[in-house]
Amino acid sequence: MKVRVDVMLKEGVLDPQGKAIGQALGTLGFSGVRDVRAGKVILLDLAETDPARARDAATLMAEKLLANLVIENFTVTILE
């Protein structure tokens, strides 16, 4: 089963990568971009066939390794 884990910095946490992307977009002529937040996407292909179990496993993986829960939030999406 394929699962996507999206990890983003929490609101209020400084995002220097997002800031740099925003500035580069302005330099390239893309006006009107007010803010940019950068995150990461982790795609997992799990042997699990039960969607609930796959979600639980991916959530545990995110809590233990994929996200820093002090400064990041994550969401888990079952893809198939």
Domain tally, the chain: 1
The CATH number of the domain where 15 resides is what? 3.30.1280.10
Instruction: Express each pLDDT in 58-78 by its tens digit.
Output: 999 999 999 999 999 999 999
Mean pLDDT over 23-36 rounds to 96
Q: Which domain holds residue 72?
A: 2-78
Residue 80 near residue 45 (C-beta atoms within 8 A): no
* Average pLDDT for the chain: 97
pTM above threshold 0.85: yes
Query: What string of DSSP letters covers 2-66?
Result: EEEEEEEEPTTS--HHHHHHHHHHHHTT-TT------EEEEEEE-S---HHHHHHHHHHHIIIII
Instruction: Express each pLDDT in 38-53 by its tens digit.
Output: 999 999 999 999 999 9
- Residue 17 φ then ψ, to 5°: -65, -45
Distance CA 29, CA 31 (A): 6
